């Protein structure tokens, strides 16, 4: 894979940190130094900075509007920022960092490929740092940048920086964040002065590693999924019988989003749960006929054989040993203001299939601050727990650690149809 193809993707990343850690300034610096702030927005920021008596632009003002809304209780949702360089496009998920907004951070992290965890160089590792680190581990983010910010306030002291790095490595090992396949990088920086964000600056010449933007530019996210097994949940069966085009009268194809792996013409595939086999005849995206489909692409595929395929079925390669199940244990983040009850029936929505489910047991709840396991009879908003489910209809699932797309699900209240929880599968009943 050449460099052009490697980075010609959208990178989604999460920023974790409180206002005091300089998260707003970091995001502002990224947008400012990559020249992606609109002219009228920049003009407003300059005026606001002057009104505050500042000689330089206050980059944190770019996100101040959202912070004010949060303080007033108007919104606690995730804010998404967008920018691009000549190399790739970026989506920044800016999630509130406080404990009561755990569900918002989990939501933002679940689609992120990289997490930036800010640490104030003056304060070192705090409880909030540990909580953010645990949540990134929980949702399976494999690329983590520990941004030791405000280095200017400790006079760019290398020994203090190294001490913070050493402390974090000990903590990461304790929570098993530093597992094979997970890459943790440390960067000293000053978001205020712009050191090691986009430009290197001149004050941290003892640091020889990449800047933050260099890490983002060179991250190959396709390495995470190129060896993954094929998972193509079918969302829609396409049979345009009403068309006046005679060629389309007998056309039959299956539409869905490739959650992982690679699909090519003439691949031998198997349809789950029926286990019927066929080969791929054609792959389309829109009106384009392709030789292959890859991770995250929404494709239309047709088969050489007339076999029964329905919404909710899944295409895998013929040699795959994946099976359906009627039970699993998962880490659940409870999102609803109404507590989870073990006496109720819920709906589990997984890819394009839905099943009724009962809570067999709440095995333990995680104290999000101490990370200790506690007993629980129910779950409240923002609680995270190990929960065992029994399903009325079988689902075709993977462990979340092996496949984020087919290892995740949402929990729906069957009376209101509100989404009340999100889950990540840890073990599967045989």
Q: What is the pLDDT of residues 51-106, one digit of tens each?
A: 666 666 666 666 655 555 445 443 356 788 889 998 999 999 987 767 777 888 88
294: tokens are 């890859």
* Backbone region of residue 40 per phi and psi (left: phi > 0; alpha: psi in -120 to 50; beta: other values): alpha
The span from the CA of 367 to the CA of 376, in Å, is: 11
| DSSP states of 29-74 | HHHHHTT-S-HHHHHHHHHHHHHTT-SS--GGGGGHHHHHHHHTTS
First and final CA of the chain: distance in angstroms?
A: 38
Per-residue pLDDT of the chain (430 residues; tens, 9 = 90+): 344 444 557 899 999 877 678 888 898 889 888 888 766 666 676 676 666 666 666 666 666 555 554 454 433 567 888 899 989 999 999 877 677 778 888 888 988 999 999 999 999 999 889 989 999 999 999 999 999 999 999 999 999 999 999 999 999 999 999 988 899 999 999 998 999 999 999 999 999 999 999 999 999 876 555 568 999 999 999 877 655 666 666 678 999 999 999 999 999 999 999 999 999 999 999 889 999 999 889 999 999 999 999 999 999 999 999 999 999 999 999 999 999 999 999 999 999 999 999 999 999 999 988 889 999 999 999 999 999 999 999 999 999 989 999 999 999 999 999 999 999 999 999 8
Fold identical between 232-317 and 324-428? yes
| CATH architecture of the region 324-428 | Beta Barrel (2.40)
Architecture of the structural domain at 232-317: Beta Barrel (2.40)
Candidate CATH numbers 3.40.1280.10, 3.30.530.20, 3.40.50.300, 1.10.40.30; the one for domain 3-224: 3.40.50.300
Q: How many CB atoms lie within 10 A of CB 16?
A: 28
Q: Under a CB-based contact definition with an 8 Å cutoff, are residues 322 and 363 in contact?
A: no
| Eight-state DSSP code of residue 173 | H
- 3-state SS assignment for residue 155: coil
pTM: 0.82
Cα separation, 83 vs 47, in Å, equals 23
Q: DSSP secondary-structure letter at 224?
A: G
Cβ-count burial 264-303 (b if 16+ within 10 Å, e if not): eeebebbbbbeeeebebebbbeeeeebeebbbeeebbbeb
Task: Using alpha carbons, list the distances in angstroms from residue 219 to 7, 76, 137, 297, 357.
Answer: 7, 30, 19, 20, 39
**pLDDT at position 2, please?**
42
What pLDDT score does 296 carry? 86
Domains of the chain: which residue ranges? 3-224, 232-317, 324-428
CB 338 within 8 A of CB 413: yes
Contact 352, 235 (CB under 8 A): yes
């Amino acid at each position: 894979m050449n460099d052009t193809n490697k980075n010609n993707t959208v990178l989604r990343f999460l920023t974790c940190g409180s206002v005091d850690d300089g998260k707003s300034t970091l995001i502002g610096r990224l947008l400012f130094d990559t020249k992606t702030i609109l002219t009228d927005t920049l003009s407003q920021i300059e005026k606001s900075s002057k009104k505050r008596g500042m000689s330089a632009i206050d980059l944190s003002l770019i996100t101040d509007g959202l912070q004010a809304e949060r303080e007033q209780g108007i919104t606690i949702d995730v804010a998404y920022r967008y920018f691009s360089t000549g190399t790739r496009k970026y989506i920044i998920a800016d999630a509130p960092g406080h404990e009561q907004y755990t569900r918002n951070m989990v939501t933002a992290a679940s689609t992120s490929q990289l997490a930036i965890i800010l640490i104030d160089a003056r304060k070192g590792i705090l409880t909030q740092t540990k909580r953010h680190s645990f949540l990134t581990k929980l949702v399976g983010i494999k690329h983590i940048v520990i941004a030791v910010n405000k280095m200017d306030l400790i006079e760019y002291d290398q020994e203090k920086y190294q001490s913070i790095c050493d402390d974090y490595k000990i903590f990461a090992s304790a929570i098993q964040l530093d597992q094979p396949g997970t890459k943790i990088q440390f960067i000293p920086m000053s978001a205020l002065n712009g050191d090691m964000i986009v430009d290197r600056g001149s004050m941290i010449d003892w640091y020889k590693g990449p800047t933050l933007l260099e890490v983002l530019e060179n991250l190959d996210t396709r390495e995470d999924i190129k060896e993954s097994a094929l998972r193509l949940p079918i969302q829609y069966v396409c049979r345009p019988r009403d068309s006046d085009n005679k060629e389309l009268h007998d056309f039959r194809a299956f539409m869905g989003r490739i959650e992982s792996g690679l699909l090519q013409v003439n691949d031998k595939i198997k349809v789950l749960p029926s286990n019927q086999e066929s080969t791929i005849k054609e792959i389309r995206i829109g009106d384009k006929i392709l030789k292959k489909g890859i991770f995250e692409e929404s494709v239309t595929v047709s088969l050489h054989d007339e076999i029964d395929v329905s919404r909710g079925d899944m295409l895998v390669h013929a040699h795959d040993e994946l099976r359906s199940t009627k039970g699993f244990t998962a880490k659940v983040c409870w999102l609803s203001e109404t507590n989870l009850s073990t006496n109720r029936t819920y709906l589990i929505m997984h890819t394009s299939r839905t099943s009724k489910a009962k809570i067999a047991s709440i095995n333990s709840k995680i104290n999000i601050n101490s990370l200790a396991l506690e007993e629980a009879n129910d779950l409240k908003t923002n609680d995270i727990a190990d929960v065992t489910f029994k399903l009325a209809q079988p689902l075709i699932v993977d462990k979340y650690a092996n496949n984020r797309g087919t290892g995740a699900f949402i929990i729906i209240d069957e009376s209101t149809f509100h989404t009340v929880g999100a889950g990540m599968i840890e073990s599967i009943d045989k």
